[in-house]
Structure 1
Amino acid sequence: MIRSSAFANKSYAILGLARSGMATLDALHASGARILAWDAREDLRQKASEKAIIADPLEVDLSDYDAVVVSPGVPLNTHPIRDKASDDGVPIIGDIELFAQARRSLPPHRVVGITGTNGKSTTTALIHHIIQSAALPTHMGGNIGLPILSQSPLPAGGVYVLELSSYQIDLTYSLDCDISVLLNISPDHLDRYDSFNAYAASKARLFDMTSAEHKAIISGTDEKSQLIIGYLREEGRIDDIVDLSGATAAGQENWPSLQGPHNLENAITAACVAEKLGISQKQISAAIESFRGLAHRMERVAEQDGVLFINDSKATNPASTGPALGAYPKIHWIVGGLPKSDDLKECEAFFGNVVQAYTIGDAGPMFGNLLEPHMSVDPCEMMLTAVQHAAANAQPGEVVLLSPACASFDQFKDFEARGECFRCAVNSVIENNLVGTATGGSVS
C-alpha cells in the first residue's frame, strides 16, 4: 500500500468503508494517522474497529480533524455530511486527493488522469496496457481496478494511470496530472448535479488542477468538450493542449477488441497519451492490436455458426450505445433497463444497422414505441427471452449485441451482473443448439 509522511499524526474521519474506504483506512493507519470510521454496514465497522474509532461523523465534533474522507458513492448534494463538515470547518476529500497529497513522498513518477462520460474504463485500460507493453512500471486505479492507495508505490519512472469519475474529481483539489484527458461529455448522473452545466464543470476541474507545463488532451466532438477546449486556449495557462476531435487512424480492422467508432476514438486518445509519454509508434501499434478489452465493454462473449455475441452491458446511456450500434452492419439489439432519458436520439444514426430490437426491463415499452417506426421490435422483458429470440433469429455474419442504453438497477444489482446474465444466457443457447433455429420468420 501507499504510505506517506503527509498523513502522520493527522486526524481523518472516513465515511464509507467499501473498497476505496477500506484501502484509505489501511493507508492512513499505516502512515500514522488517527482515524474515525463509519459505514452503515455493521460487518465493515467491525472490520475497521482495530484501526479506527468507530463513530458516525454526523454525531462527532469534527473541528479538530484534518479532513473527512468520503466514498465517491456518497451523494454530497443530498447527504448531511456536507453541511456537517462545513459547520465544523473541515474539508471533504476522497482517496484520490489523499494520493495527490502523498505524491511528494513517492519515487519520481508521472500521472495520467482520464475522465469523460463514456469510454473512460476502456481508454484507461488501453493506456495501461500500452505502458506495460513498453516495459515501463505502471499501476491502474481510480474508478477501475484496485484502489490506488492499496497498491505498492511504483519505482522511479513509473506511470500511474487513473480513471476519474466526476464524483472523484469533486473530492479532489490538488491532483496535478502530467497528462489530463477528457474523452467526451454527455448528460449523465444528473441526479447528483444541479444541471448538465454543473456536471460538465465537474469534469473540467481536472484541467484546473493541471500545471502549465503539463499536457491536456481532449477528444470529444460534443459541445461541452469543445467549449472546454476553447476556454483552455483562451485562458492560455496550459501550454500543450491537444484537440483530437477530428483525428483519424487506420488499422481498426486489426483491433478485434476495439470495434466501433467510439473505440476508434478511445484508441486514438490512448495512442496520443502514449506518444506524450515517449513510447514509440511501433510499440503503440503492437499493443493496441494485442489489447483484449474489458469485461462488459464490447466484449466478444462467443461465436457460434457465424453469429457473434457481444456483451456491452457497460453501455448505460444512449450516448454509449450509439457507437456500439455503429460497430457492426447487421445487429440483433438487446436494449432496455432503467432509463436515464426518454429518447434514443444518440442511437438514431445507427438504426440502419439493426436487424431487430429486443426490449427488456422498465424501459421496454417506451423504447418499443420509439423504435417501432424504424425497425422490428420484439418485447421480451427478460434477458433470457431476449437472448433466446435473438440467437434463434440471427444468421451467419450477424451479431447479437447487448447494449442496453440504460442503467441496470431495475432487474440487476449492477451492469456487471447484467453482463454475466447475458453471458450465461448465451452459453445456454449455444449448448442447446438454438442459434439460427428460427423458421418461417422471426421468433417473437
Structure 2
Amino acid sequence: MIPVRGFENATVAVLGLGRSGLTAARALHAGGAHVVVWDDGAKGREGGEAEGFEVRDLTREGALDGVATLVTSPGIPHLYPAPHPAIRAAWEAGVAVDNDIGLFFRSLGHDGEAPRVVCITGSNGKSTTSALLHHVLAQAGRQAHLAGNIGRGVLDLDPLGEADIVVLELSSYQTDLARSLTPDVCVFTNLSPDHLDRHGGPGGYFAAKRRLFAEGGPERAVIGVDENEGRYLANQMSEAPGDDRVIRVSLGKLSGPGWQVTARKGWLAEMRKGRQVASVDLRDIPGLPGRHNHQNACCAWAAARTLGLAPREIEAGLRSYPGLPHRSQRIAERAGVTFVNDSKATNVDAAAQALQAFKRIRWICGGLMKEGGLESLQPHFGTVAKAYVIGREAAAFAVALGPDIEAEVCTDMAVAVARAASEAEAGDVVLLAPAAASFDQYDNFEKRGEDFAACVTALDI
C-alpha cells in the first residue's frame, strides 16, 4: 500500500466505500490521517465500520466541520447530473474535494525516487491499451504495475521506486476531479459519445479527458488523431510540426515531419522525421484482432518507445499478448464456428469496431441503449448475417436496428447463444458485442460476458 502523505494528524472524509474508497481510507490512515467514512448503502457502511473507521453521515449539517479534504469515489456524481449532497456540503464549507488518483500523485516521491507513470484514457480501447503496454513492459523485463480503472486500486500498489513503471488506466470520472496530475506519459486513444449525462454533454466529456494533458503536463503525449478532438489536442500539445513530444496515432495516413505511429491495412509503421524506423504485420497476432485493436497496438507501441523499448522488444510483447477477458476474447471454436466475447463493447462505437473485425457474424446485441441511438452502426451491418437481441427491452432494441438487418428477439443470453449457434455455418463468428449497457440484466459487463461464456460452454454441438 502507498501511504498518502500530507494529511498527518488531519481529518479526511471518504465518501463511497467500494474498492477505491476503502483503499483510499486505508492509505490515508497509513499516512497518519484521521479518517471518517460514509457510504449511502448500509453494506458499505458496515464494511467501513468493520475496518475500524469512524462512520459519519457526511450529508448531515456540520459533519464536515474540521475536515481537511473530502475524498470521493469515481462513481459518485460531483457536478452532473447533480452533485452528491456531501459534495455540495463540501463546497459550501470550503472543504477541498479530491479522489484516489489525486492522492496517488500527491504522494509520489515522498519516500524516495518516484516511478515513471503512464496514464491512458479515451472512450474505447483504454483497457486493452493499458493491459497490452503492461504486458509488453513485463515481457521486456521492466518492473511494471497495472492499476487505476483496471487491475489494482492505485493506492493498493506496494511502495514504488525509480525503477518502477506504473501503467494507469483512467476513466473520465477519475481525470475530471483529481487535484494532482503529474504523469510522465499520457495516452489518448480516441473519443466517442459516452457518459454524457455525467459530464453535461460531449464538451464536458472531452474536457475531462483533456484535463489529464492540459493540467498533467506530461513529458510525452501519445494522441489518437482520427477524430477532431484528438487532432485539436495534438495541436494544443505541440509547439511546432516536428515537435516529438507529441506522437500522433492513426488508422489512416499521416504526413509531416513529426513522430507518428499508424496502422494501415493491418501494418503498423513508426515514422520519425519523415522516415520509417519500424514496421510490424499485426494481422496474424491472435490477441489483437480487428482495426480497433490495431489502434490499441499503435498506442501501446508509441508509449513503450517513449519508455526506451526497442522495436523488437515491443513486437515480441505484441505477439505474446493473450488478450483481455470480455474484449474480443475468443471463447471457443466448435464445428468451424468461432465464439467471441466482446461484452465490453458497451457503446455503439465499440460495437462498430467489433463488427469490422470479422467477415460473417451472428451478432448478439442489446441491453440498455445509450444516448444517440443505433443509427451510426448501420454502415457496418454488411458483416452481420443476423442479430440476436437480448435485454429487457429487446423488442425496442431490435426495432432501433432498422429494416436493413434481420433481427430475432431472444431476450436472454441462453436463448440468443443457442439460436445463433444452431444457425451458424462453418466460418461464422458468434459475437457478443452488445452496443449497450448491461445493467438491465447484469451487475456489470463482466457478468454479462461470463454468462455468454457459460452458455457457449453448455452448448451441445
TM-score (norm 2): 0.89
Structure 1 residues 370-418: Cα deviation after superposition (integer angstroms, max 9, x where no partner): 4453232222122111111100111111100000000011111111111
By how many angstroms is 1:41 displaced? Answer: 3.3
Residues in 1 aligned to 2:166 and 2:11: alpha-carbon distance in whole angstroms: 26
Report the 3-state secondary structure (helix = DSSP H, G, I; strand = E; otherwise coil) of the residue aligned with 2:137.
Answer: helix
Q: Does 1:108 align with 2:108?
A: no
C-alpha displacement at 1:235, in angstroms?
Answer: 10
Using the TM superposition, give the Cα deviation of residue 321 of structure 1 relative to its aligned residue in structure 2, in angstroms: 0.5
- Matched with 1:436 is none
1:89 aligns with 2:94: yes
Question: Helix, strand or coil: the match of 1:254?
Answer: coil
2:231 aligned partner = 226
* Residue from 171, 187, 196 that aligns with 1:181: 187
Deviation at 1:420, TM superposition (A): 1.1
- Give unmatched runs, 5+ long, in structure 2: 253-261, 269-279
Say whether 1:207 aligns with 2:208.
no
1:244 paired with 2:249, answer yes
Counterpart residue identity of residue 108, structure 2: R
CA, structure 1 residues 80+234, in 2 after alignment: closer, same or farther (shift >3 Å)? Answer: farther
Tell me which amino acid in the other structure corresponds to 1:299. Answer: Q
Cα distance, 1:346 vs structure 2: 3.5
Three-state SS of the structure 1 residue aligned to 2:343 is coil
* CA distance in structure 2 between the aligned counterparts of 1:61 and 1:409, rounded to whole angstroms: 33
1:113 aligns to what SS in structure 2?
Answer: strand
Q: Matches of 1:235 and 1:379 in 2, distance apart?
A: 54
Query: CA offsets per residue over residues 17-53 of structure 1, 9 Å max, x none?
Result: 1111111111111111111111133343333335422
**Cα distance in 1 between the residues matched to 2:297 and 2:53:** 43
Q: Distance in 1 between matches of 2:70 and 2:52?
A: 16
Aligned-partner Cα distance in 2 for 1:186–1:12: 36
- The 3-state SS of whatever aligns with 1:243 is strand
Measure how far apart 1:63 and its partner are. Answer: 4.6
1:129-140 equivalence runs, <5 A? 129-140=135-146
Q: Is 2:168 aligned against 1:166?
A: no
CA distance in 1: counterparts of 2:439 and 2:382, whole angstroms: 29
- SS state of the match for residue 150, structure 2? coil
- In the alignment, the residues of structure 2 paired with residue 132 and residue 399 of structure 1 have an alpha-carbon distance, to the nearest angstrom, of 32
Distance 1:239 1:99 in 2: 28
Equivalent in the alignment of 1:57: 58
RMSD, matched Cα: 1.9
Instruction: Note the alpha carbon deviations across 1:123-179, whole angstroms, 9 max, x for none.
Output: 110011111111111111111111011110233311011000111012212211110
Q: Distance in 2 between matches of 1:58 and 1:7?
A: 22
Gaps of 5+ in 1: 434-444
- Partner residue in 2 for 1:80: 85
Output the CA distance in 2 between the equivalents of 1:385 and 1:224.
41
Aligned-residue identity in percent: 41
**2:364 paired residue number:** 334
Residue 104 of structure 2 is matched in structure 1 by: 99
CA distance in 1, matches of 2:399, 2:316: 45
- Give the CA deviation at 1:82: 2.6
CA positional deviation for 1:11: 2.0
> TM-score normalised to the size of structure 1?
0.92
Determine if the alignment matches structure 1 residue 192 to structure 2 residue 198.
yes
- 2:399 aligned with 1:398: no
Tell me, in whole angstroms, the C-alpha distance in 2 between the residues paired with 1:191 and 1:62.
28
Moved more, 413-422 or 46-55: 46-55
Q: Which residue of 1 aligns with 2:390?
A: 360
Q: In the alignment, which residue of structure 2 is the partner of 1:151? A: 157
One-letter amino acid of the counterpart of residue 203, structure 2: N
Name which of 431, 446, 458 aligns with 1:416. 446
Q: Which amino acid aligns with 1:28?
A: L
Q: Quick one: distance in 2 between partners of 1:342 and 1:361?
A: 18
Report the CA distance between 1:4 and its aligned residue: 4.3
What SS does structure 2 have at the residue aligned with 1:253?
A: coil
SS at match of 2:369: coil
Of the structure 1 ranges 284-293 and 368-377, higher mean CA displacement relative to structure 2 is found in 368-377
Runs of 4+ in 1 over 6 A off after TM superposition: none
CA–CA distance in 2 between the matches of 1:239 and 1:263? 24
What's the secondary structure of 1:192's corresponding residue?
helix
What letter is aligned with 2:86? I
Q: Helix, strand or coil: the match of 1:66?
A: strand
How far is 1:58 from its partner? 1.8
Cα distance in 2 between the residues matched to 1:139 and 1:381: 40
Instruction: Describe the shift of the 1:90–1:182 C-alpha distance in structure 2 as closer, same or farther (beyond 3 A).
Output: same
Residues 398-407 or 365-374, more deviating: 365-374
Aligned-partner residue type, residue 206 of structure 1: L
Q: Report if the CA contact (8 A) 2:101-2:178 is conserved.
A: yes
Question: 1 CA distance for matches of 2:34 and 2:426?
Answer: 62
The separation in 2 between residues aligned to 1:144 and 1:391, in whole angstroms, is 32
Between the aligned partners of 1:170 and 1:65, the Cα distance in structure 2 is 22
Structure 2: distance between partners of 1:378 and 1:43: 40
- Give the secondary-structure state (helix, strand or coil) at the position aligned to 1:263: helix
| Letter in structure 2 aligned against 1:182 | F
Q: In 2, Cα distance between the equivalents of 1:154 and 1:257?
A: 30
Instruction: Note the C-alpha offset of 1:234.
Output: 6.6
